[in-house]
Structure 1
Amino acid sequence: MRKELAVIANIYLYACLWILSPLTCNTTEEGGIPGSFLIQPVGARGNAIGEGYSSMADDSTAVLWNPAGISMISKPELYISRSWLFEDTEHSFLGFSYPLKKSIGITGGWINQSSEGYEKRTNPFDSPTTFSISNDAILLGLGSKIPLKKFQINAGITLKTVRHIIDDYSDSGFGADAGLIIGPLQNFSFGLSVHNVLKPKILLVSREVVYPSGICFSSHYTQKIFKDIKAIGSIGVSKYENQGARFSFGGELSYTDTAFLRFGKTENGFSSGIGLKMGNYVLDYSAIFHELSPIHTISLTTRFGITADELEDLIKEGIKKFDRESASKLAGVYVQQAEVFYKDKKYIQAVKALENAVLLEPFNKEISNKLKSFKQEMDRNLNLGMIEKNRSLAIEYFESGDYITSRQYWQSVLEIDPENSQAKEYIEKIDMKMTEMEKEHLKRQAEEELSKKVALLREEATGLLKSEKYSQAILKAKKILTISPDNKEALSIISIAENGIKLSIEKRLKEALSLCEKKDIKEGLKIIESILKDFPDNKEANEGANFCKISWKVEISPQDQKKIEQLYYMAVDSYLKGKYKDTQKYIDEIYKIDPLNENTKNLEEKLKKVK
């Protein structure tokens, strides 16, 4: 890492020396720089910090400061800024940014500088009339991230059309800027922006004016001072054709990323500024203490939506108050996270996030229905993936002439999607191409596979029978019968298992009813529920469940109900944070008050799966 820093530092030093050297290039005879309204800093944050902001611009103003910063914009935003200069001159900017992907962003902007109150006379003795001067530009920028092993490079380009209006005369031209941002490297970031790579040309009355090229090198260093306080220090140097180099330095202190204090020093004087961030809204103010008059700038940023990182931060905070309102808010965050995952086709993560939301709001049918829908979509996509894999292999083997293997893969496709027309078509082609010998071989192979499958299922069913897992043994035996309908061993296993189930149910039900009579409702119902899980229509088990519930006739007071709600949300919060021992402790506390609590039972079932 030190080597990378040394290389970048050397490049930066040589660039600064080059900037300090004189440039020979096309110049104008005018006192000012053509296109100076585009050199005027845009946005209150950039105005306060100075040229160093070029390496850290991560909002819509990046389209002017350094288009590489556009790629660092994480969500759609609308940006409005206005500066008040001298003598009735105003400088305004309006921008909108939209991240197309995680690594690419686009920004559109409009900038205007206008001055009024100028006087003109057609003849020396005429009364003066007033006119105005206006300069504006429409900008379109594109930024992209280029991730490398040890650091990241952001690159961007801005295309612009500029227009000058002097009284009744106007003309326009076209130009382009480009930029890079490298980092962070050990908390350092470096910026390079080149303005007017493609120089706009304007015809003013009778003379062509060409915008000069300019280059800016900038850097900033970020350091966390205390838990909630972060500091940024920046430097920048820029130079335009036929102009001297301009140096600046600046800094920013932030508290919990919501309140900001800024300062800087440029050739125009000292600057300072403040900022306040409230959710998706940011309000910034800056003042440059110019020798003629202070330059005031106000900016308002409105962002839309929420990022995955912001959602994750909210989730890490957990339930702030262990009540239904706080739980509902956190459930909403999980739903938003699920939708972000779903949009990115991360179905497993989306389902998991919605399952957490259901724990927080178990009575919310909308979330439950969404979870069901997401699970169906996840299964569908998993099946599509398996189909595609088998289909590719089937075609590959078909084209190589291995028809037997190809047919097996097409058969696997039909097992997932019985109506797959392509699989049916290929199997028909294969059957026509195969010789009688190959068909006989395929038949023998299929019989051998079925025989092996039956033997494996029989072995598994017998093992389950010995372990007294009768219902599972029956399922295995029934699978054997789908392959070999008259298999005597499978029929025998089913008969033995059914008798075993009858005796087991009687024994377990007797134990459960005894527990319920002793007021150990939780354990009694647990046994009955295990019976009903395998045999939901068992009359004796259903009657036993009703008996246990009737045995629990304790009226839960509103105070205890409130305590249960609090304990439940504490249990869910612990579960979501991976504190499973605490989760079980809170569940046990709930069961002491209400052993029939359904939400707690569902949570306990999930807890058993992760233990």
Structure 2
Amino acid sequence: MANGVWGITPKKNRPAGALKSASAAAFLAIFSVSARAAESGGQPGAFLQYGVGARALAMGGAFYAIADDATAAYWNPAGLAYLQRKEITTMQATLFQQTSFNYMGYAHPTTTKGTYSLGITQLTSNGFEKVNATFDPATGEATKIDKAGSFADTQRAISFAWGREATETMSFGLAFKQVSRQLDSSSDSHLAMDIGAMRVMGPNYRLALGVQNVFSKAGGDTADRLPVILKLGNSVRAFKDRLVLGFDLQKSQTADLNWRFGGEYWAARWFAFRFGLLAAPTIQETDFGFGLRFRRVQLDLAQGIHDLGASTRMSVTFRFGRSRDDRSEDQIKNLIQQGFEAFREGDFSLATLRLNQALDAAPNNKQVKAMLARLQTVVGFVPQATGGEEFQTYTRKGVIAYVDGRDMKSSVNALRYAYNKNPKDEKLLGLLNLVEREGGVSELTRRIDGPDTFTFVDQKLYDARQAIYDGKYDLAVRRAQDILDLEPSNVTALEIMGSSFFLMEEKAKAKAVWKRVLELDPKNKTVAEFIKQIQ
């Protein structure tokens, strides 16, 4: 005779069919509760096909392109991107005596980094009888069966998910899950990853696509693998979002194509009615239910009708905290304010960082976009100009005028003055030349070639005199004017300008300029003589 314990004896000592019989009893208890078992019954992680959240289940599970509550981590992690407040959802379903299905999930939206979620799903079935059996080795029939206690079947999935908007119309999400099974003393586990994407195709239509178990790894007493599941979802909204309809297609490696269709209608702000169908491919289950909402608490009830009877599921959702939009708006305002303050103080690198952070949170802010376009250029030349020295003060003025974009001449003049005070700053010269080009200046400021004590003004005076010697009187006037834009009382520049006009036979202009020289330098005898000659 041979002894053994059904369902837990070592494989080499088990008679054929012993574990199969015990396991079959367990799986029958677990999966007979819903037609969803037909999709992948007996496969590892098959209990996850049951679905979570009474709201979604009342819609037949046609939730892949809706997924706008905390259960999105289970259905489609891309939907987490659209949550506004923190949410906790719990679901409890007593499938039948000593068998329960439970779920709890928490979703935490952030203003700029997407929404994070943590969830746990568990199916527990207790009270299975464990026996010792003695078999006749000749016939293989059991000759004696003794009770050896009881055992339980527990299946659990723990998931961590994240979803974020990639653009205004596109979101994506990832979910990592650890799935475990414990059947008496035998256990196994799986690690897997889901990916999902959702596209807003218009004000009332969404399309979703994803893959479940795109990556999986098994461990423990099993050689099974989680099946790859392809999903496609559609949803349509109408009547100012009071009605939403969903239609999903799902194909598993180990099951036929199935489809789900369902809808939700909010008859009042506090009451919703739901319905759904599940087919694989013929209709296997009909669902209906309702939802009650009071402020930030929502109670949902779902009833499923299938060949094996009916199952009831109930869930409660709590929403709390400030909405993401409210927090995002405050954060954006704060970041923009910090950026502007840093900008005015001359810390252009910090200003760029803060405004980029604001733009990440509000990609459509045109004011920030326009400001950043030029500020990022400035940072490449002059990251900071925060000191109290004169050249730093004028650098700030020049940059502020450049980023503002309305008075390029003021920007050029301020930067020229700053360069005049700090002529060895090659980076500042590079920024000045860039601004001059954008401002349409015909002659760019060049590196000062004279002695170390030469300044921008000294160089311009030298160049203006050289233009006279070369007979380029109009160029000499422009160069003198460049100096006067920075130093309106520069007598030498006025003398050069007056001489240029005189040589161009524009004596009236020459006389006016020279009179200004005498106002500034009444003892200038040379200019006084020229004025007498003109008169």
Relative to the length of structure 2, the TM-score reads 0.56
Q: 1:188 aligns with which of 181, 202, 205?
A: 205
Matched residues in 2 for 1:253 and 1:271: separation? 14
Change (3 A) 1:173 1:102: same
Partner of 1:412: 394
CA contact (8 A) 2:205 2:237 kept: yes
What stretches of structure 1 of length at least 5 have no aligned partner? 1-29, 312-335, 348-376, 399-406, 417-422, 454-486, 488-611
Change (3 A) 1:447 1:246: closer
Closer/same/farther in 2, CA of residues 429 and 193 from structure 1, 3 Å limit: closer
Q: Residue 154 of structure 2 corresponds to which residue in structure 1?
A: 134
1:384-463 counterparts in 2 under 5 A? 384=345, 393=378, 396=381, 410-413=392-395, 427=422, 434-436=452-454, 438=456, 440=458, 449=486, 451=488
**Within 5 A, what are the aligned runs for 1:447-596?**
449=486, 451=488
User: Which secondary structure does the structure 2 equivalent of 1:55 belong to?
Assistant: coil
| Contact persistence 1:99–1:105 (CA under 8 A) | yes
Q: Does 1:81 align with 2:42?
A: no
1:68 corresponding residue in structure 2: 78
> Gaps (5+ residues) in structure 2?
1-39, 134-143, 350-373, 384-388, 399-417, 426-447, 462-479, 491-519, 521-535
CA contact (8 A) 2:457 2:483 kept: no
Q: What stretches of structure 1 move > 6 A for 4+ residues in a row?
A: 389-392, 442-447
Q: 2:322 matched to which residue of 1?
A: 306
Q: Please tell me whether residue 104 in structure 1 is matched to residue 138 in structure 2.
A: no
How many Å separate the matches in 1 of 2:345 and 2:225?
59
Aligned residues of 1:202 and 1:210 also touching (Cα < 8 A): no
Measure, in 2, the Cα distance between the counterparts of 1:241 and 1:55: 22
Amino acid of the residue matched to residue 264 of structure 2? E
Q: In the superposition, relative to structure 1, how do residues 201 and 383 fare at CA in structure 2: closer, same or farther (>3 Å)?
A: same
Give, in whole Å, the separation in 2 of the partners of 1:391 and 1:429. Answer: 23
What letter is aligned with 1:139? S
User: Hey, what's the Cα distance between the residues in 2 that align with 1:237 and 1:34?
Assistant: 21
Match of 1:403 in 2: none
> Does 1:292 pair with 2:308?
yes
Q: Secondary structure at the match of 2:306?
A: coil
Rate the CA distance shift 1:243–1:447 in 2: closer, same or farther, 3 A: closer
Shift of 1:39: 0.9
Larger mean CA deviation between 56-65 and 433-442 belongs to 433-442
Q: Give 2:182's match in structure 1, choosing from 140, 153, 165.
A: 165
Secondary structure of the structure 2 residue equivalent to 1:158: strand
Inter-CA distance 209–385: structure 2 relative to 1 (3 Å threshold): same
Identify which of structures 1 and 2 has the higher relative contact order when contacts are C-alpha pairs closer than 8 Å and 6+ apart: 2
Equivalence for 1:251: 263
C-alpha separation between the residues in 2 aligned to 1:433 and 1:121?
Answer: 104
The amino acid across from 1:410 in the alignment is Q
2:224 to 182, 188, 209: 209
Instruction: Read off the aligned partner of 2:96 and give its amino acid letter.
Output: F
Query: 1:249-281: per-residue Cα shift (whole Å, max 9, x none)?
Result: 111102465432111122442211212333332
| Alpha-carbon distance in 1 for matches of 2:323, 2:459 | 58
Retained in 1: the 8 A contact 2:106–2:119? yes
Quick check: 1:380 aligned with 2:362?
no
Name 2:30's counterpart in structure 1.
none
In structure 2, what is the equivalent of residue 14 of structure 1? Answer: none
More deviation, 299-308/105-114: 299-308
Amino acid at match of 2:199: I
Counterpart in 2 of 1:92? Answer: 102
8 Å contact 2:85–2:324 — kept in the other structure?
A: no
Between the aligned partners of 2:245 and 2:324, the Cα distance in structure 1 is 28
Q: Look up the equivalent residue of 2:159 and give its one-letter code.
A: L
Once the two structures are TM-superposed, the CA of residue 337 in structure 1 deviates from its matched residue by 8.5
Question: Which residue of structure 2 aligns with residue 41 of structure 1?
Answer: 51
Counterpart in the other structure of 1:24: none
Distance change (3 Å), C-alpha of 1:243 and 1:121: same
Secondary structure of the equivalent of 2:315? Answer: strand
**Residue 304 (structure 2) pairs with residue 276 (structure 1):** no
Paired amino acid for 2:228: S
* Higher helix content, 1 or 2: 1
For the Cα contact (< 8 Å) 1:51–1:237, is it kept in 2?
Answer: no
Letter of the structure 1 residue corresponding to residue 247 of structure 2: I
Q: In 1, distance between residues paired with 2:424 and 2:454?
A: 14
Shift of 1:95: 1.5
1:133 CA drift (Å): 0.6
**In 1: Cα distance, 2:452 partner to 2:380 partner:** 16
Report how far residue 428 of structure 1 moved. Answer: 9.1
One-letter amino acid of the counterpart of residue 196, structure 1: N
Q: C-alpha distance in 2, partners of 1:439/1:179?
A: 63
Tell me: CA distance 1:394–1:249, structure 2 relative to 1, closer, same or farther (3 Å).
Answer: closer
Alignment partner, residue 223 of structure 1: 238
User: What's the CA shift for 1:165?
Assistant: 0.7
Provide the secondary structure at the position in 1 that maps to 2:234: strand
Kindly state the Cα deviation for residue 433 of structure 1 after the two structures are TM-superposed. 7.6
- Residue identity in the other structure for 2:285: G
Partner deviation per Cα, 1:383-436 (whole Å, 9 max, x = no partner): 1467568997598499xxxxxxxx9863325779xxxxxx99x94966998433
Alignment counterpart, residue 153 of structure 1, candidates 170, 177, 180? 170
Structure with the larger strand share:
2
Give the direction of change, closer, same or farther, for the CA distance of 1:187–1:31 in structure 2 (3 Å limit): closer
Shift of 1:111: 1.1
Q: Which amino acid aligns with 1:436?
A: F
Deviation at 1:135, TM superposition (A): 0.6
> Identical aligned pairs, as a percentage?
23
Once residues 346 and 314 of structure 2 are traced to their aligned partners in structure 1, the CA distance between those partners, rounded to angstroms, is: 53
Is the contact between residue 109 and residue 324 of structure 2 (CA under 8 Å) also seen in structure 1?
no
Alpha-carbon spacing, 1:452–1:33, altered in 2? closer, same or farther (3 Å) = farther
State the partner residue of 1:116. 126
In 1: Cα distance, 2:274 partner to 2:72 partner: 18
Q: 1:434 to 1:303 in 2, by over 3 A?
A: farther
Say whether residues 1:176 and 2:193 are aligned partners: yes
Question: Structure 2 CA distance, aligned partners of 1:192 and 1:395?
Answer: 42
Q: Residues 378 and 248 of structure 1: is their aligned pair in 2 closer, same or farther, counting only changes over 3 Å? A: closer
Q: Which amino acid letter does the alignment assign opposite residue 412 of structure 1?
A: Y
Distance across 2 between alignment mates of 1:181 and 1:286: 26
What is the distance in 2 between the residues matched to 1:269 and 1:414? 70
Asked which structure has the greater CA Rg, the reply is 2
Counterparts in 2 of 1:77 and 1:387: CA distance versus 1, 3 Å: same
CA shift, 1:90, in A, is 1.3
Displacement of 1:243 after TM fit?
2.0
Structure 1 residue matching 2:51: 3-state secondary structure: coil
Kindly report the root-mean-square deviation, in angstroms, between the aligned alpha carbons of the 2 structures: 4.0
Aligned residues: 349
Structure-2 change in CA distance of 1:48 and 1:437 (3 Å) = closer
Give the partner amino acid of 1:162.
V
C-alpha deviation, 1:198, in angstroms: 1.8
